[in-house]
Structure 1
Amino acid sequence: MSAWELAVRWRAAAPRVSGVRLLEGVAGVVLVLLFSQALVGPLFADPANPDASAVLRLIWPPVYAVTLLLMLARPGAVLDHLGGAWPILLLVGLALASMLWSLDPGVTLRRAIALVFTTLFGIWLAAAFSWRELLRVLAAGFAILAAGSFLAGALVPGFGVMQEIHPGAWKGLWWEKNTLGAMMAWALLAFLAAGALDRHYGALWRALVPLALLLVLLSTSKTALLASLVAIAGTGSIALARKGFGFAALTMSAGLLGVLALGFVLAIGPGVILEMLGRDATLTGRTDIWAALVRLIAERPWTGFGYGAFWETDGGPVHWVRLATAWDVPTAHNAWIETALALGLPGLGLALFVYLRALVGGFARLFAGRETYWALPFLVMWGVISLSESSMLQQNSLVWAVLVATAVKLSAPRDQA
């Protein structure tokens, strides 16, 4: 008997428990909150070395165990979605295999295992919920995070507002302002998309949009503000495109011209974009980091330095990067360079395939399916943020889990949203 037949028989024989859907929804919201690393991280971990926190080390194993139990409760649905997740699983498998050539095999193994479970959580989200239910879970989680961040900033400014670096900028439930800004940009999109999909609570989700936008502004993160504008413009453009052929042609032409203009500017003068974001042409030293890292990638183009190990090996090549840039660089601040650094050019190519495959799937649903109000703007926003943040293959990261869930659902047959 095949594994598929066993899963079907198991599902058919399982007792029907009332309230299971509600319990799954609650579990989904709780896991969204935990993977966001809100509150717990700032309270119990050093932002420079969160892996050293004993509290976090105790929290994650039960989270992974719950994720496995939730997947085992829906074996058929999970197996249905694993086929569409093959490039993601291959990429995660490469991260795990990189232990064989890593600068620090122990660090790579530990972080790759965490990445596996983060990815499994994303696959479970895709398998367990329809698009409408998934947006409900995400919007509910983000609503709690938005309310908590607002209360932290308004009532406990010593915790919720930055005091020394960037004084006055709100950081909410996280370590610093940019994380609050990024999370609230995702929240804004989740509220807009849930408002479009959810017939019962759409008005509630739309009412939360101003709160998310307010927190983006209070964070003073210009990148988050740009992402928020993409969310608003993206959902608006999809609505216009569906009004008729004329609107569709205008929207798609404007989008194409925008992409071409962005590519042209990035090719001949990225400083223009950086100045628009209120930064100098080195983007707080990031272009200097990228130049140094590209040279190092060229030294190990086919393997990279191992998943999660490059920045943790002080005696390794990271020493020369920090010496050249004259500051304690923590990450590549670019998802694609970070991936090539860890997994070499094969990993970079596979990561690009994962992203572009999902993006094509999002565009394919431009004129059919309300899920496009989430999927397409999310992928565009993620692509923009990936240019300045290491957002690919991040262990214990809500954004990576949601990217996995979105990509996997786009590769599966359409459900009734």
Structure 2
Amino acid sequence: MRVDSLKTAGGPSISWRTIECWGAGISIFLQAGAILPLMLADADGTLSESAKSILRLPCFPVYAFTIVILIRHFPQFLTALRRNLIVPSILVLPFLSTLWSIGPPTSLRRAIGLLFCVLLSYVLAIRFTPRQLLLLLFVTLGACIVLSVVMSVVSPSLANMPDGTMRGVFIHKNVLGWYASLMILVASAVLIDGTLGLRRTAFILLAAGVICLASSGSMTATIATSVAYCLIGFYSLLQRSSSIGRVVIVLFFVQLAVGILISLHEFLVPALEALGKDATLTGRVPLWELVDREISNRWMLGYGYQAFWTVDNPEATHIWLMLGWAAPHAHNGYRDILLSFGIMGMVPFVMLILHAIRQGASLQCHDPQYGWLWLNVFTIMILVMNLTESIFFAQNDAIFILFAAAIIMFSLYAPVVSTSRSPSWQAPTRGLTSGLQIS
């Protein structure tokens, strides 16, 4: 007999749905890196080795929650695995890379962390509908952004970087910018949805997100936010068009995107120089030139999962000496994939992304009332962010966890959306708010 609640010693019972909702929200909050890393970091945001060890401790309750939920819903988990075999195949790569990694223990340790993060993505995908996940992020990210605004007022010295830009409850201004950008998307999606009855709160959180984004000065997050609003228009137009019209719209936007990328490659640096701005994109351009040389040296298999940017790697040390600063990663998610796995990892990753974009667009066109708009926009946003940041395959990172959850959710729903609006394996359809109540 299935047990749907836990009974405490005093008598009241807590439903498993309550545990799932609160556990998922707390897990996302912890993996977002809010508050605790800031408390342990130095004034410039640097974490010591002892601080990094302490930060690993909150991950263990998240891992335990993930395993418990997956065991309880193991058939749904197997269904999610079967419906997109590329995800588990790519997940094997970090472990395989230990065979050729320049730092096998580092690659193995970080691969284990990545495994648990993707397992949490599966939990979010099989236990929450798109609209429920939207509401979960609305609450979780809203708490982070509101706390950032409050801290900037109560303790400006702690909430601001040494250069005066705002970092809120996060360790760096760029991280605040990323989550502020996501908050703007989530709040906008709640306003567009109109079925959640949270318009006033959404306006407040939207304003708080804009304040944090502007105060962080993160150009990557600003560009991603602008792209998000363009994508909202694109997917809305795509959903309202006929089949032939959709082909025309897709071709137009693909050509437009390619044209913009070519223009940025050719004219961005001269334009920045003419405006008196930093033409190196805060040191990224010379970093990319050096990284590309290292990628070409081991272009087939790479250096092993996240083994390149370590103090034991002479190639990384050479780059740091050439730059004059210790880059923690390539500041480009696509280059870091090549550094970790080479072409062998990039090819299946590109296949995975193209498949997810196609499935997401199909779901938006054929099942828009289920709330697919924001997930489609979010997926492309992360692809844009990784042009100047490195988020792909980051262990214990809430953004990558949500990115993987979106891809898994697309593949989970896409095969059945034409035959059933409510698959039998999906999460309960009642509102997430009711799941947060203790019965």
Report the TM-score when normalising by structure 2.
Answer: 0.84
Equivalent residue number for residue 360 of structure 2:
362
Find the counterpart in structure 2 of residue 115 from structure 1: 114
Is the counterpart of residue 67 in structure 1 residue 63 in structure 2? no
Measure the CA separation in 1 of the matches of 2:65 and 2:272. Answer: 42
Share of identical aligned residues, percent?
Answer: 26
Secondary structure in structure 1 of the residue aligned to 2:390: coil
CA contact (8 A) 1:213 1:228 kept: no
Q: CA contact under 8 A between 1:177 and 1:219: conserved in structure 2?
A: yes
Tell me by how many angstroms 1:357 deviates.
1.8
Number of the residue aligned with 1:372 = 372
Structure 2: how far apart are the matches of 1:250 and 1:211? 37
1:146 corresponds to: 145
In the other structure, the counterpart of 2:175 is 179
The offset of 1:325, in angstroms, is: 2.1
Deviation at 1:385, TM superposition (A): 0.8
Any gaps of 5 or more consecutive residues in structure 2? 6-13, 423-428, 430-439
Higher mean displacement: 309-318 or 102-111: 309-318
Q: Which amino acid aligns with 1:15?
A: V
1:253–1:305 distance in 2 versus 1, CA, 3 Å: closer
- Name the counterpart of 1:135: 134
1:306-334 Cα deviation digits (max 9, x unpaired):
11211113442112212222322221000
Q: Is the 8 A contact 1:358 1:407 kept in 2?
A: yes
The 5-angstrom pairing of residues 299-318 of structure 1 reads 299-318=297-316
Q: How does 1:123-272 map to 2 (within 5 A)?
A: 123-162=122-161, 164=162, 166-167=163-164, 169-197=165-193, 199-204=195-200, 206-207=202-203, 208-244=205-241, 252=250, 255-271=253-269
Indicate conservation of the 8 Å contact 2:302/2:341, yes or no.
yes
Q: 99-108 or 188-197, which moves further after superposition?
A: 188-197
Contact in 2 for aligned 1:181/1:219 (Cα 8 Å): yes
Deviation at 1:374, TM superposition (A): 1.1
Is the contact made by 2:178 and 2:221 (CA closer than 8 Å) also made in structure 1? yes
Aligned counterpart in structure 1 of residue 34 of structure 2, from 38, 41, 47: 38
SS of residue in 2 equivalent to 1:311: coil
Give the letter aligned to residue 294 of structure 2.
Answer: L
Give the direction of change, closer, same or farther, for the CA distance of 1:273–1:134 in structure 2 (3 Å limit). farther
Using the TM superposition, give the Cα deviation of residue 36 of structure 1 relative to its aligned residue in structure 2, in angstroms.
Answer: 0.3
Moved more, 88-97 or 31-40: 88-97
CA deviation after TM superposition for structure 1 residue 269, in Å: 3.8
* TM-superposition CA deviations, 1:240-274 (whole Å, max 9, x none): 44455599688656533431322321453442686
1:262 alignment partner, SS class: helix
CA drift of 1:226 comes to 1.6
* CA-to-aligned-CA distance 1:41-87 (integer Å, 9 cap, x gap): 11125654566423213222222111111211222222221123422
Q: Does the 8 Å CA contact 1:45/1:56 hold for their aligned counterparts?
A: no
Please say if residues 130 and 372 of structure 2, whose CA atoms lie closer than 8 Å, have aligned partners that are also in contact: no
- Output the amino acid matched with 2:77: V
Distance 1:253 1:88, change over 3 A: closer
Comparing 389-398 with 308-317, which one deviates more in the overlay?
Answer: 308-317
Read off the aligned partner of 2:38 and give its amino acid letter.
P
What SS is found at the alignment partner of 2:170? coil
**Cα RMSD, aligned residues only:** 2.6
Instruction: Supply the distance in 2 between the matched residues of 1:347 and 1:278 (Cα, whole angstroms).
Output: 39
Structure 1 251/319 Cα, relative in aligned 2: closer, same or farther at 3 Å?
Answer: same
1:298 aligns with 2:286: no
* Cα pair distance change 1:276/1:331, threshold 3 Å: farther
Pair 278,109 (structure 1): closer, same or farther in 2 beyond 3 Å: farther
Shift in CA distance, 277/44, structure 1 to aligned 2, threshold 3 Å: farther
Aligned residues: 402
1:366: Cα distance to partner? 3.9
| Matched residue, 1:287 | 285
Aligned residue type for 1:380: I
Contact residue 295 and residue 342 of structure 2 kept, 8 A = yes
Aligned counterparts of 1:243 and 1:303: Cα–Cα separation in 2: 44
Q: 1:70-110, CA deviations, whole angstroms, 9 ceiling, x for partnerless residues?
A: 21122222222112342222222111221222222221111
Aligned to 1:322: 320
Amino acid of the residue matched to residue 139 of structure 1? F
Pick aligned residue for 1:336 from 313, 329, 334: 334
Tell me how far 1:192 sits from its aligned partner. Answer: 2.1
- Contact 2:300-2:342 at 8 Å conserved across structures: yes
Q: Matches of 2:327 and 2:393 in 1, distance apart?
A: 19
> Which residue of the partner structure matches residue 97 of structure 1?
96
